[in-house]
Amino acid sequence: MSEKISIKFKRISELYDDLELPYYSTEGSSGMDIRAAIYEDRIIEPGKIELIPTNLQVEIPDGFELQVRPRSGLAANYGIGVLNSPGTIDSDYRGEIKIILINLGSQPFKIKRGDKIAQMVLSKYYKADIHLTDELSDSKRNSGGFGHTGI
């Protein structure tokens, strides 16, 4: 079993008290499902982007972030993704969590109140100590990139 880190969620409006807080769907899930907090259904047309509110704010401990990722079922079955995937919710952000969804599929996609629209993974991060230098050490790869090792 993995270590548990406490994070706090706050609802913005009582109008969405019926929606479940983010939760892990199974014992082995690394991502918490998060739900759409909307009054009326929204349609995302193919190739279009929608910013979907969740009615939630969050307090994350310093040294951690929440990464917002697509749900695999929505991606595989409907072409729905999280545009800035993975999106980052920083530990000092206290605004509403909103999910940037994109429809990469060929059909319009309907989002209803309370639909699970994304998942969030709590991740530890490290701060870099930045140094400017005139030289970097060599590596086997050096500047090779963009397919230099073949298919």
Instruction: Read off the pLDDT of residues 70-92 as tens digits, 9 standing for 90 and up.
Output: 999 999 999 999 999 999 999 99
Q: Give the rounded distance of the alpha carbon of 20 from its chain centre.
A: 17
pTM for the model stands at 0.89
User: Quick check: 10 pLDDT over 70?
Assistant: yes
pLDDT digits (tens, 9 = 90+) for 15-27: 999 999 999 999 9
pLDDT band at 150 (very low <50, low <70, confident <90, very high): confident
pLDDT above 90 for 122: yes
**Is-contact 15 81, C-beta < 8 A?**
no
Q: Residue 16 — φ and ψ, nearest 5°?
A: -120, 20
> Can you read off the two tokens belonging to residue 98?
């909103």
CATH class of 8-124: mainly beta
The answer to whether 13 touches 55, Cβ cutoff 8 Å, is yes
In 3D, which of 48, 55, 49, 45 has the Cα closest to residue 98?
Answer: 55
3 confidence band (pLDDT: 50, 70, 90): confident
Residue 151 confidence (pLDDT): 82
State both tokens at 42: 């929204």
Residue labelled with tokens 């090792």:
149
